[in-house]
Amino acid sequence: MTLLSRRSVIIAAAAATAALLGAKAVLIDSFPSSQGTSRPLAIERWRALIEGDAPARLPVSVGYISMAEANVPKSLAVAGAGLRKIRMGVVAFQISYREGSLMVDSGYDRDSHVKLSNGPVFSDEKHSRLQALLREAGSIVLTHEHPDHVMGVFTSANSEALKRKLIVTREQVGGLAHNRIALSPDQLAGLAGRAHPEMFRVAPGVVLIKTPGHTPGSQSVFVRLRDGREYLMIGDIAWNVESLANKRGRALLIGKFMLGEDRGEVARQLSTLHELARSEPKLLILPSHDVAYLEGLASRGDLKVLH
């Protein structure tokens, strides 16, 4: 190889390396700064909506169940956070009363798990347990319309009965029609989306707050228990609790190109949640997929693990 040829190879290799590093910087490490104003996350207004609820009618506990799990590079969940693997689960929550319960999200089935390639771990036992919890619930709400949050209803052997328990918004019904796993007209039949306001008391001690961005129908769920503890289930505004601390969400590759989310709005929501966490340190903010964080809350008695 001549000197000129070697020099050409070195230049080409350097150019390829620079291109790869540039692509990584944009697709994996970048996240937009918060600009403009997000919809308000005003805890005083949420509290005002439930202030008339008698303490005896408030929920007594919040629990969760994780039915599937994968290890993913952290940068996919928190842009620029490196390639160390973190655990992500497919989670549903239960808000329990002295009599009855309300479920938040519904997981999915094994077939949906395979189609979405959501990792090697899927528990048929926990799927069956979650199906039982959904059957026992008085009502079901959805944080948003992605398959890992909704398919537990639509693929269930009891789907018609579960659909009658669903409290869904018009935005969520529209989003379900464009689900990443296609839903048939029969599966969508009978869904009546509510046109509820930006903040809506759905049950004693429970308020739904519209937070579109990750999807058009995304909403958060505020809960106050009888003992005074308060929770905010944020769905997929963040996948990992670290996003709330450093105000950085999913990598562009995931957030924009795979999920089609409004990254600017998500950035504004993360900034607002960051400030809310600082001003309300006792508020327990629950990302739907951060199983290590949820396990930590369970170990200190703030969450029940639903076996």
The domain that holds 44 is classified in CATH as 3.60.15.10
Whether residue 25 lies inside any domain: the answer is no
In a domain, 189, yes or no: yes
Q: Is residue 10 part of a domain?
A: no
Check residue 30 and give its pLDDT: 73
> In the structure, what pLDDT confidence band is assigned to residue 26 with cuts at 50, 70 and 90?
low
Q: Residue 62: which H helix or E strand, with range?
A: strand 61-73
CA atoms within 13 A on the CB side of 172: 25
pLDDT of 20? 38
- Total domains in the fold of the chain: 1
Beta-carbon-side half-sphere exposure of residue 213 (alpha carbons within 13 Å): 23
User: Would you say residue 1 lies in a domain?
Assistant: no
pLDDT digits (tens, 9 = 90+) for 81-101: 998 999 999 999 999 999 999
Q: What integer best gives the mean pLDDT of the chain?
A: 89
- Judge whether 75 lies within some domain: yes
pTM for this entry = 0.90
Q: Is residue 224 one of the residues assigned to a domain?
A: yes
**Longest C-alpha distance within the chain, in Å?**
86
Cα distances (Å, whole numbers) of residue 264 to 34, 166, 249: 7, 30, 10
The answer to whether residue 134 is domain-embedded is yes
Q: What number of other Cβ atoms are within 10 A of residue 162's Cβ? A: 20
pLDDT in tens, 251-281: 998 988 899 999 999 999 999 999 999 999 9
What is residue 177's predicted lDDT score, i.e. its pLDDT?
A: 86
The whole domain housing 124 covers: 31-305
Closest listed residue to residue 126, CA positions, set 197, 68, 60: 68
Q: What pLDDT score does 182 carry? A: 84
b/e code 135-145 from CB counts within 10 Å (16+ = b): eebebbbbbbb
User: How high is the pLDDT of residue 3?
Assistant: 47
Per-residue pLDDT tens over the stretch 274-298: 999 999 999 999 999 999 999 999 9
Assess if residue 24 is contained within a domain: no
Q: Is 240 helix (H, G, I), strand (E, B) or coil?
A: coil
Q: How confident is the model at residue 29 (pLDDT cuts 50, 70, 90)?
A: low
Model confidence at 2, pLDDT cuts 50, 70, 90, reads low
